[in-house]
Amino acid sequence: MMGEMILRNLLHRPIRTFIGVLAVAVEVSLVVLIVGLTSGILHETAKRVEGVGADVLLQPSSAGRLMGMTNSPMPVKIKERLVELQYIQSVAPVLLQFNSSGGVELIYGIDKSFDEVSGGFVYLQGHGMEGPDDMLLDELAMQSKHVKVGQKFQLLNHEWNVVGIVEHGKGSRIFVPLSTLQSLSGSTDKASLFYIKCTRPEHTEDVIAEIKGILPNYTLTAIKDYVSMMTTTSIPGLNVFVDAMIGLAVCIGLLVIFLTMYTTVIERTRDIGVLKSLGANSPFIVRAVLCESAMLCLLGIFAGVGLSYAVRAGFLKAFPTLAILITPEWILKAAAIALIGAVLGASYPAWVASRKDAVEALTFD
Amino acid sequence: MAIAATIPSAQFEGLRPVDGQGLKKKTVEPILKTENLWKLYRAGKVEVPALRGVNFSVAPGESVAVMGPSGCGKSTLLYTIGGLASASRGTVLVDGNDLAQMSDAERTKLRRSKIGFVFQRFNLLPTMTAKGNIAIAQYIHGDGFDPHRFDVVTKLLGLEGRLSHKPSEMSGGEQQRVAIARAIINEPKILLADEPTGNLDTKNSDVVLEMLRQLNKELGQTIVMITHNPEAVTYFDRVVHMRDGVIVDGVPAD
């Protein structure tokens, strides 16, 4: 009976119900997408680093988890010392260049040793880099930048020849010759990091200990540990940003639900008086208002989940290189957050409704 | 659906009290009794007495019409004896329970089980159908939907063909019949009616009044009704007149 009453009340004012549902949907999708975007980018980055196939990552001591955020590249000559060490199969220096024009991306400057570490690219089109101005892109970067093999592409104020499209998942989306990138960035004979391949994965810890002995001032990370470290909680300030965005989303939902239910209670003052004349007590009135708010919220949650997937699909169509990770865990968390916000938002209107004087309510116009 | 002004007596089968409770008995305790009832309203810094020491009683199974000019306290009396408003002073005994000593929650509980209301403006829930408006009274009562009782009451009031309609799709007379059905669905001890024919034309007024009369005669339903209509009083056992918050005549000699 309560369910029927609530459903009919929601259908009685379709526009108001729609606004309430939309607010909750926006709230849910904001939470899901913001978390999805941050964790998606981190997760995707980590997977691509893992996809290189190396076992150890050597970086300067000042390097942050988000690659490319360093101003102190290392000498490439470090490679010569590393390859002499026991259990090391191959070493690939990589120069990172952060590009923000026409999109946010990290460019890898690599040499032939990258193929030794990674096992080589899988070419979907074209071939490997041969000339100093050759460029490789993965298929997602190709879609994003609308380029084809054989075309010229302007990047870092330099004209490149797109010679190959590779399967995504190996470190970066854009690859250029190491020497050319060094010269363009003024980092001659420098590398931002080294990918190190061990003779056997079991030797990873031994290799790390050995390298620390000769290069104590550098940061060494086992690739498997790197992947697990790429979370929002391990990036300074990122979890604060995510929490702030979630808080903002909750405020939006809570305020709209508050306004919706408050106007509902005012409009239905006489109905509340009728219910009281029938013997409905204060808990009944409160329950009716909160249940209506909860049902509104549930509809909004379903709409929000759908909206999240739709927005993600739209973003991925427009920006194929973007990674938005939508997980069941965060859908449930967003739903719970929305429900708590809806109940809190409806609490005051419910209390107001329960406190209405029955006689005054019955004569309300 | 046209409804006869008189409901055939046979239709009350299944609703009549088994043990004779509710039928008018002059020797039993009043089912409703007020003693020195005062109701004061505060208007700014001034206290306005709406009821001034009202002594009023109704026997079980009796039907009483309360008349008086606007502002004399008729509605206040009705709402106070119905537990919707609290008494400022005095006693209000409903089936032996003193409402004046009860909290709002206790009065609500008593109202749920012992009192039915019918209002001038029908006061149906606009989003619910006729069936929903009647059934919600059963839901609030706590016993859940009783289909047998529901069918008997709706048939009695000629509502079978209108149950799926919302109030906006019904005439005033139909809406008031739904309101009466809602008021009696839980077999209240007392039915309180606040000018139930005030918004109806003459024909529908007569129908509603006749229904109330038959509920009283056939089922022994105790009814207290407020009215401005002088012709309505012919449907009731007794008429009580009020003026300026007091009863001026019509108090029973019990």
Tens digits of residue pLDDT in B183-230: 999 999 999 999 999 888 888 898 899 999 988 988 889 999 999 888
Cβ within 8 Å, pair A278-B105: no
Partner B, chain A 278-317, Cβ-Cβ below 8 Å:
278-282, 284
Quick check: helix, strand or coil at residue A326?
Answer: coil
Mean pLDDT, chain A, integer: 89
Q: Which residues of B touch A8 (CB under 8 A)?
A: 127-128, 132
Residue of A4, A270, A284 with shortest CB distance to B140:
A284
With a pLDDT cut of 90, the percent of chain A lying above it is 51
Q: What is the mean pLDDT of residues A46-54?
A: 90
- The interface pTM score, or ipTM, of the predicted complex is 0.86
Residue of A4, A8, A279 with shortest CB distance to B141:
A279
Number of CB pairs, chain A paired with chain B, less than 8 A apart? 71
Please tell me the predicted confidence (pLDDT) of residue A69: 54
CA torsion, points B242, B247, B248, B251, in degrees to nearest 10?
Answer: 120
Contact B114, B188 (CB under 8 A): yes
Contact A318, A258 (CB under 8 A): no
Of B194, B203, B133, B140, the C-alpha closest to B165 is B133
Residue of B105, B115, B127 with shortest CB distance to A8:
B127
Please tell me the predicted confidence (pLDDT) of residue A322: 83
Cβ within 8 Å, pair B79-A359: yes
Of B136, B118, B215, the C-alpha closest to B175 is B118
Residue A67 CA to residue A78 CA, distance in Å, equals: 19
What contacts B43, CB < 8 A, 6 or more positions away? none
Q: What is the mean pLDDT of residues B235-239?
A: 90
Cβ within 8 Å, pair A276-B82: no
Task: Using the predicted structure, report yes or no on whether residue A339 has a pLDDT greater than 50.
Answer: yes
Task: Using the predicted structure, report yes or no on whether residue A235 has a pLDDT greater than 80.
Answer: no
Q: What is the mean pLDDT of residues A199-209?
A: 90
Cβ within 8 Å, pair A4-B127: no
- Global pTM value: 0.79
- Range of lowest pLDDT (A102-116, B54-68, B125-139): A102-116
Please tell me the predicted confidence (pLDDT) of residue A29: 93
Of A150, A154, A148, the C-alpha closest to A184 is A154
